[in-house]
């Protein structure tokens, strides 16, 4: 009877240890997934000051995260303003990125057609 108690106590200890280990592992996985879900927006203009991020001294630019996205700012003063009204500045960043995308599309050369293929033939496919 005493052996049965020892076996039950050891079994309970093992179950408890396994559940704690599993819970810790699961929370670490969730934290890792959250870190992976963060997206670097890559704005090159500070939405608060309007300064170009690339023109600022190396290491002076700051990053701020909001709703899973990381935005670039030029300084601590701008970060303070950004945090007061992030949606206002995020909208400015989205406008900058949209404008930059349009400019990049315009700058791209038109694809060349293979020799002997006419425009009407290209549209046919």
Residues 52 and 16 both lie in one domain = no
Does the residue 29 lie in any domain? yes
- Where b means 16+ CB within 10 Å and e means fewer, 65-92 reads eeeebebbbbeeebbeebeeebeebbeb
- Residue 93: per-residue pLDDT: 94
- How many structural domains does the chain have? 2
Is the domain of 9 the same as that of 49? no
* Per-position b or e across 27-51, b if 16+ CB within 10 A of its CB: eeeeeeeeeeeeeebebebbbbeee
Q: Please indicate, yes or no, whether residues 47 and 89 belong to a single structural domain of this protein.
A: yes
Residue 56's domain comprises 40-107
Are residue 22 and residue 64 in the same domain, yes or no?
A: no
Which pLDDT value is given to residue 109?
A: 79
Asked if the structure places residue 113 within a domain, the reply is: no
Cβ-based neighbours of 51, under 8 Å, separated by 6 or more:
45, 74
Let me know whether 2 and 48 are in one domain: no
pTM: 0.54
Answer yes or no: is pLDDT of 72 > 80. yes
Q: Is residue 77 part of a domain?
A: yes
What percent of the chain lies above the pLDDT cut of 90? 34
Instruction: Let me know if residue 58 belongs to a domain.
Output: yes
- Give the list of residues 6+ apart from residue 68 with CB closer than 8 angstroms, or none: 37, 38, 39
What is the pLDDT at residue 81?
A: 96
Same domain, 46 and 59: yes
Q: Please determine, for residue 49, whether its predicted confidence score (pLDDT) is greater than 80.
A: yes
């Amino acid at each position: 009877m005493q052996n049965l108690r020892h076996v039950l106590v050891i079994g309970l200890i093992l179950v408890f240890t396994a559940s704690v280990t599993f819970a810790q592992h699961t929370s670490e996985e969730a934290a890792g997934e959250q870190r992976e879900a963060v997206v670097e927006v890559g704005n090159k203009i500070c939405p608060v000051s309007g300064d170009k991020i690339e023109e600022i001294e190396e290491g002076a630019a700051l990053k701020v995260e909001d709703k899973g996205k990381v935005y670039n700012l030029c300084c601590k003063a701008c970060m303070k303003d950004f945090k007061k009204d992030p949606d206002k500045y995020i909208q400015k960043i989205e406008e900058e990125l949209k404008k930059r995308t349009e400019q990049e599309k315009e700058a791209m050369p038109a694809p060349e057609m293979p020799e002997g293929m006419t425009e009407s033939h290209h549209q046919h496919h």
